[in-house]
Structure 1
Amino acid sequence: MATQLIERYRPSNGTDGSCFKADWCERCERQRRWYEDNEEPCQIELATEMYDVDEPEYPKEWHYAADGNPVCSAFVPDGEEIHDRCPKTIDLFPAAEGA
């Protein structure tokens, strides 16, 4: 079985980038935290501005979906909890009490 490569998405111009960010970034909890709570900005959006799409550091989260439309696979709807891993995964090493 052949492995299908995911084509990373890079906006073709400023308007394309603005539309993508309006659809994804401006409705994402990651960015809301930055804009409203002054927490750390979304590293994905920052990396897309720092690296070329062919560089290994360019975020794999910005890519084309099977339908050909660009998506951000790290999108978290505004107001929902951000999980850095699956919330159903059990902790193998729970935090020590009193630490």
Structure 2
Amino acid sequence: MCWNKARIGNTCDACRDSMGLDPSDRAGPVAVFVQPKLPRVKFHANKPGESYMPCNGTEGEFFHSMWCEECARDKAMNGTVYREGREETDEDWCEILGRSFREDAIPEWVYGADGQPCCTQFVPMEQEVTARCEHTADMFDAEQTASGSIHNAGPDEHA
């Protein structure tokens, strides 16, 4: 397939000939360009716990490929919204990834115990993203909250 013309949805004559397509079919098959998955790489090791920031765009692409494309937090980056055949919504985007394009220091991106960069908020795609820390106890019993039996005293009601 002709890479230049694949982006615009048609093929060049040489590609049509090599695929055995009818020369009168000028449009040819519509090609969809899919960026290949980048391989996992070893970054320059650094002290565990230190903040991580990609030194250039290529390193950033590899980091995104290794972490963001595998994370349940960003359904656009990991391809979920496209496999579901729907448009993205605000809930589909990872706030951390978005912030990485606006800010210099991302507290969630650090060097892990192995000296390699990682995202501390990474959630594997097979897992559900929780809205709160699963290790923090609820402040109120879920049954009391649902039944409305919790009474929030106003400022005048305290003795």
TM range (shorter): 0.7 to 0.9
Aligned equivalents of 2:67 and 2:124: distance in 1?
9
Q: 1:31 aligns with which of 46, 67, 74?
A: 74
RMSD: 2.6
Larger Rg: 2
User: Which protein, 1 or 2, shows the higher relative CO under an 8 Å CA cutoff with sep ≥ 6?
Assistant: 1
Q: Which runs of 5+ in 2 are unaligned?
A: 1-47, 82-87, 149-159
| TM-score between both structures, scaled by the size of structure 1 | 0.74
CA distance in 1, matches of 2:119, 2:104: 17
**In structure 1, what is the Cα distance between the partners aligned to 2:112 and 2:137?**
30
Deviations 1:51-70 (A, max 9, x none): 113xxxxx211011132100
Distance in 2 between residues matched to 1:33 and 1:83, nearest whole Å: 18
Counterpart-to-counterpart distance in 2, 1:97 and 1:33: 34
Q: Percent identity, aligned pairs only? A: 39
More displaced stretch, 34-43 vs 74-83: 34-43
Q: Deviations over 1:35-59 (max 9, x none)?
A: 5163241111111110113xxxxx2
Structure 1: unaligned runs, 5 residues or longer? 54-58
Task: Count how many residue pairs are aligned between Structure 1 and Structure 2.
Answer: 91
Distance 1:13 1:41 in 2: 22
Q: Is the 8 A contact 1:9 1:70 kept in 2?
A: yes
- Residues 63-86 of structure 1, C-alpha deviation per residue, up to 9 Å, x if partnerless? 111321000010000121112433
SS for the counterpart of 2:118 is strand
CA-to-aligned-CA distance 1:3-35 (integer Å, 9 cap, x gap): xx8311111111100000000000100012675
TM-score (norm 2): 0.49
